Amino acid sequence: MTPLDLKKLREGLALLPRGDRGMVLALLQRESFNTVQKKYLRSMLGLVKQGPKPDLVTYPAGAYGRLVWHFQHARKYVTYPRIHLHKTIFWDGVLFSLAGNGSKHPGTITINNGGAFGKARHFGRIDTDGGIDFQNTALTEGEEKALKDILHAMTENLADFARYRFALTGVCVFTDEPVEGEVEAEHGYGRITALRWALPYPHQADA
């Protein structure tokens, strides 16, 4: 295992099966490995280079089913998948987050203004079938149209949407942080984020 191999393993830790992450992390703390450990780490490195396998499923049938699929895909690698938008037409921020198993509506995408817990303004949610629920949100007609326009753009092409938002704000919508590197800046997200969210990115296998 070369230093570059070990670096790739560290960077791609979140792409490994959850049951293997602890073992790999523990081994990466060592200075040397025996034959069995090297074989195991090489197999894990192979998984990192492959990236996530395509999901052989159809998108949920609702209008925003493709967006739901992206969130479900990211959930395999990120505990709480979220997309955070800054500086929108009506609001300082809009937060889309996947509800966990302990929530009232698990698997749905909740939409709010990103405020503190208990103080955030609720805008609605996207159901697991891709339909949208604006009940009890008190959105104005203009706000509802603006939110639907955002959702349509995200669903139509999430990669293009992320690139556009990065050009506006300078931060990645998935990590809420700036990106480093020319290729990353061109896309608005990095290689690992692309793998987690099933987004296009050049030379994934060799990066």
Co-location of 40 and 125 in the same domain: no
Co-location of 190 and 122 in the same domain: yes
pLDDT digits (tens, 9 = 90+) for 10-40: 888 877 877 788 899 889 998 889 999 999 9
Asked if the structure places residue 19 within a domain, the reply is yes
Co-location of 28 and 108 in the same domain: no
Number of other residues whose CB lies within 10 A of the CB of residue 85 = 21
Asked if the structure places residue 205 within a domain, the reply is no
Asked if the structure places residue 133 within a domain, the reply is yes
Tokens 């099933």 locate to 198
State CA 167 to chain mean position distance. Answer: 18
Co-location of 187 and 125 in the same domain: yes
Q: Is the pLDDT of residue 204 over 60?
A: no
Co-location of 43 and 102 in the same domain: no
* Structural domain count, the chain: 2
Angle at 96 between CA 202 and CA 177, to 5 degrees: 50
pLDDT digits (tens, 9 = 90+) for 131-148: 998 876 788 889 899 999
Co-location of 20 and 92 in the same domain: no
Asked if the structure places residue 183 within a domain, the reply is yes
Could you say which DSSP state residue 67 is in? Answer: H
Tokens 């690139």 locate to 163
Co-location of 97 and 190 in the same domain: yes
Residues 6+ apart with CB under 8 A from 21: 13, 14
Q: Which of 101, 145, 99 is nearest to 125 (CA)?
A: 99
Contact 128, 138 (CB under 8 A): no
Residue 52: predicted pLDDT:
64
Asked if the structure places residue 159 within a domain, the reply is yes
Asked if the structure places residue 202 within a domain, the reply is no
Asked if the structure places residue 160 within a domain, the reply is yes
pLDDT digits (tens, 9 = 90+) for 54-71: 555 578 889 999 999 999
Residue 180: predicted pLDDT:
87
Co-location of 99 and 159 in the same domain: yes
pLDDT digits (tens, 9 = 90+) for 39-55: 999 999 998 888 765 55
Co-location of 25 and 96 in the same domain: no
The domain containing residue 102 runs over which residues? 65-197
Alpha helices in the chain (DSSP H): 3-11, 18-28, 35-50, 65-74, 141-156, 158-169, 182-187, 191-197
